[in-house]
A = this chain, B = another copy of it.
């Protein structure tokens, strides 16, 4: 054990200092120029980073990049699949069949896709800290923080017209104001068949070697014409080679590397098991729903992919958190930092206890976890909406809350109803994307039943949610009775405000109304008993970390723009080498070796067109750059800033990246830029698109 612990510490660099590895999802305001220079002899200029920032695109929860001056965006198929699903109908299955718009006129307008491009960053930490004095009790502190954030965002929106979000970094150690240009007219240009985009399905997901054409192209429009995007990436015709330095830009979602051991254990023992259980419940229900007919399978395809993807991730994360050396290394690093904190408190007697009755920030964070455990599942189920896996319920709740919130002053509203967020919210709420009653019913039934499994059948809020019926009957009655599938009905209730919402007899609206007091109570408890004290604890820890380590450790990922770097590189598993790249030919080989059935089938276009392809063309590649969920669709760049790949996954060994970076086996995985050109031109007859990408 001690030997393994030592090995693990070595693996992790002995402390969270990342200076000697490719670790880090770096802020554009503090790029890793020094490390990159030291490790690669490359000058990472501010200009490189700033241009990459303006050419990178934020999808909701993931990434993409401009690849032409005319608003063309590349991302992953699995990032675009929500939009592709919504553009599909019983007669037109774009997910299954793919799509290519030969002319601009054929580009399909997505019902509710919003893209954002970061324009500028401002540090507002001082202003936030000043507005929330440490002396305030938690409820007052939370209100004060809410108010100052709303004020900053509103001010910026008014001043610049840009989408403005204050971002929390270092778990509350820093606050940055991000201003983004928003695009709401986004059209589908190209997507391949899902079969080839997610070749290998759940089996190959989070594995390597891979053979996936996980790309899709969209175009942003302004005033009905393609937007001008002078900041864009040049598409590399040659792509990267093994050993090359690459950069990955994008919007990594969430890591937990700077969290305390107590919080990680809470994730391991409470949050993740709950989250995984819910994913499994939905996955089983969606699989069964899809088996009932080909059309139902089509309807459920995107949900199922998302849920299965989550399930596999959570399993990997839990396995990592239950791997003793990982938490032991975390504990060692934490002890070191904590020692430094205590030494600072009593410089003449380092390690001395705190004054009696006082907790250090690590203890405060631990106390918060204990408090949260008491109502965490209720909070997720009734406030986050986990008990109601239904877009119809989500719409009903928004309508009920908008009626309450809009009359209030901006700074006092729940965050999602602030002026700075209203446009985006309305785009979601009034989306004409198709909804399917049977699918909504199945999901709702499953999630209501899941709530009962989690809380027991006598839970009072659950009983309100069920309205005296069993989960299956309640879901059936709610979905059969609601009129919210109709966008006009949603608009009517929105326009009618509080009076209309209160008068509505729509069963979804009635349910959302009936639950709102309970749900808001849970939200308030969360904000005051969890979020606020945790922020304060982490802010104190962050100060100590700045003192000890400076800014050599980038903050945890927060779904904001970051830059990572690494080497295109294979690895070994059980002594056998896994090469850095696969080839197009490898896809045919793998399909044949596994009998050619799902999930290893290839589209007819591919099997018919095999002879046209150069099978030696690199297909997917792996690099050591530091990525996480949210980096899906991230541009991968070479030293010249050209796009050489589109990131789409991590391998299994990278599933613990939430908690710890290693480059021994963990890799991110990208589609090679050359494979995209090869297949677009030889299989998809997409010469116009190729011309736009290559300028030839």
Residues of A within 8 A of B (CB): 1, 4, 201-203, 265, 268-270, 272-273, 276-277, 280-281, 283-284, 287-288, 291-294, 311-312, 315, 318-324, 327, 449, 452-454, 456-458, 466, 468-473, 594-595, 597-599
Additional A-B contacts beyond A203-B292, A284-B311, A294-B595 (17; CB < 8 A) = A202-B291, A203-B288, A265-B456, A269-B458, A272-B453, A273-B453, A280-B280, A280-B281, A288-B312, A291-B598, A291-B599, A315-B449, A318-B452, A322-B457, A322-B470, A324-B468, A324-B469
Q: Chain B nearest CB: distance from A636 CB in Å?
A: 28
With contacts A473-B323, A595-B293 known, is A318 near B453, CB below 8 A? yes
Shortest Cβ distance from A272 into B: residue? B453
Shortest Cβ distance from A293 into B: residue? B594
> Cβ of A470 and Cβ of B203 under 8 Å apart?
no
Main secondary structure of the interface of A (DSSP, over half): helix
A466 to B324, CA, bound (A): 10
Question: Nearest 7 pairs between A and B by C-beta?
Answer: A269-B456, A323-B470, A273-B453, A280-B280, A203-B291, A319-B470, A319-B472
> Cβ of A294 and Cβ of B324 under 8 Å apart?
no
Residues of the B chain whose Cβ atoms lie less than 8 Å from the Cβ of A283: 280, 284
Shortest Cβ distance from A202 into B: residue? B288
Among B201, B202, B291, contact of A201 (Cβ-Cβ < 8 Å): B291
A361 to B265, CA, bound (A): 41
> Cβ of B276 and Cβ of A322 under 8 Å apart?
no
Among B268, B292, B468, B469, contact of A457 (Cβ-Cβ < 8 Å): B268
Q: Chain B nearest CB: distance from A325 CB in Å?
A: 9
A468 to B5, CA, bound (A): 11
A203 to B290, CA, bound (A): 9
Residues of the B chain whose Cβ atoms lie less than 8 Å from the Cβ of A280: 277, 280-281, 283-284
Residues of the B chain whose Cβ atoms lie less than 8 Å from the Cβ of A318: 449, 452-453
Q: Chain B nearest CB: distance from A221 CB in Å?
A: 38
Shortest Cβ distance from A280 into B: residue? B280
Q: Chain B nearest CB: distance from A454 CB in Å?
A: 7
Q: Chain B nearest CB: distance from A569 CB in Å?
A: 24
> Cβ of A457 and Cβ of B294 under 8 Å apart?
no
With contacts A268-B456, A595-B293, A597-B294 known, is A1 near B277, CB below 8 A? no
Q: Which residue of A322, A458, A466, A598 has the most chain B CB atoms within 10 A of its CB atom?
A: A322
Shortest Cβ distance from A320 into B: residue? B470
Residues of the B chain whose Cβ atoms lie less than 8 Å from the Cβ of A472: 319
Residues of the B chain whose Cβ atoms lie less than 8 Å from the Cβ of A4: 468
**What are 21 sample pairs from A and B whose C-beta atoms fall under 8 A apart?**
A201-B291, A202-B287, A265-B457, A265-B458, A269-B457, A272-B453, A273-B453, A280-B283, A284-B284, A284-B311, A287-B287, A293-B594, A293-B595, A294-B595, A315-B449, A318-B449, A318-B453, A319-B471, A324-B469, A324-B470, A327-B457
A270 to B4, CA, bound (A): 38
A265 to B457, CA, bound (A): 8
Q: Chain B nearest CB: distance from A91 CB in Å?
A: 15
Q: Chain B nearest CB: distance from A326 CB in Å?
A: 8
Shortest Cβ distance from A264 into B: residue? B457
Shortest Cβ distance from A448 into B: residue? B322
A597 to B468, CA, bound (A): 39
Q: Chain B nearest CB: distance from A480 CB in Å?
A: 11
A469 to B294, CA, bound (A): 43
A280 to B285, CA, bound (A): 10
Q: Chain B nearest CB: distance from A250 CB in Å?
A: 28
Q: Chain B nearest CB: distance from A273 CB in Å?
A: 4
